Amino acid sequence: MFEQILAAKERLQGHVNVTPIMTSRTLNRRVGAEIYFKCENLQRIGAFKFRGAFNSISKLSKTEKARGVITYSSGNHAQAVALVGRMLDIQTTIVMPNDAPETKRTATEGYGATIVEYDSESADRKDVAETLQAENGFTMIPPFDHPDVIAGQGTAALEMFDQVGRLDALLVPCGGGGLLSGSAIAAKNIHPDCRVIGVEPELADDATKSFYTKKLHHIKNPPTIADGTRTPSLGKITFPLVLEYVDEMKTVSEKAIIDAVKFFFYRMKLVVEPSGALGLSAILSRNVIPKGRVGIIISGGNIDAATMTMILNS
């Protein structure tokens, strides 16, 4: 899989933003370590998801592209697939929950995608998408459980190591495990001693339970503010990769997530969505005690005004 990540890096050149690394002297003094943030909130469409979407869709055959692409996503992967579809002149259909963040839905529509809504309380998004795929012959590009998607996401960590060199630890948000597994594979192949830690909300701790019990756990529609982590479980591909390459899983409270979003906004002048703030929240809440040089991937910055207003007023 590491070879696939290297190939994805070449494929993405000229299309992906080489996102910056940012630091905070205030934070470093506070926690007693050197913290480096990989700002994927400044990636195209505002999240790391562009990497996996472009890598997987650009590899499709002419026939597959001509049939159109379908996916299911609450927001960031939806936007990424829609943008890549516009770039490559491919029809895209996105299955989205009817309560998806408005900013993510509007952006997805703006890139030209056809949106099919579903009720997350009564229907399964994957089932809805697969039905549409069977009816229309679309090519499925799932949000995380696909080798080419995982390889694309892994380029974020690969790029980070190019920028900062050796790290003692790498903290990565975890939803379906695409970014986490891809980043862990990259880290272990470049610096085997780097400790890879996945972070997810306490209210959506399916991956943490799965990691420690070695059995796949599911949580349907977890009520976390971190909407990018509301996937019900790790995937058939990502679960074994997480077990093999990740060293530790940690969870954080909703308050810790909110505090991290506020820190980014007020102290670093960064707009970060709750899912993207998970790594920092683990450090600020002392659920992870950082030592030495620590990398944190900020996975995205797509947050709607109502949510940000609520956070800043809390």
299: annotated active-site residue? yes
Rounded-to-integer distance, Cα 268 and Cα 30, Å = 14
Residue showing tokens 């390889």: 151
Decide: 12 and 34 in contact? Cβ < 8 Å. Answer: no
Give the β-pairing of 248-252 and 92-97.
unpaired
Rounded-to-integer distance, Cα 170 and Cα 296, Å = 6
User: Catalytic residue among 9, 38, 49, 104, which?
Assistant: 49
215: annotated active-site residue? no
Rounded-to-integer distance, Cα 313 and Cα 39, Å = 24
Among the listed residues 115, 169, 136, 148, the one whose alpha carbon sits nearest the alpha carbon of residue 67: 136
Number of residues that make up the chain: 314
Please list the active-site residues.
49, 299
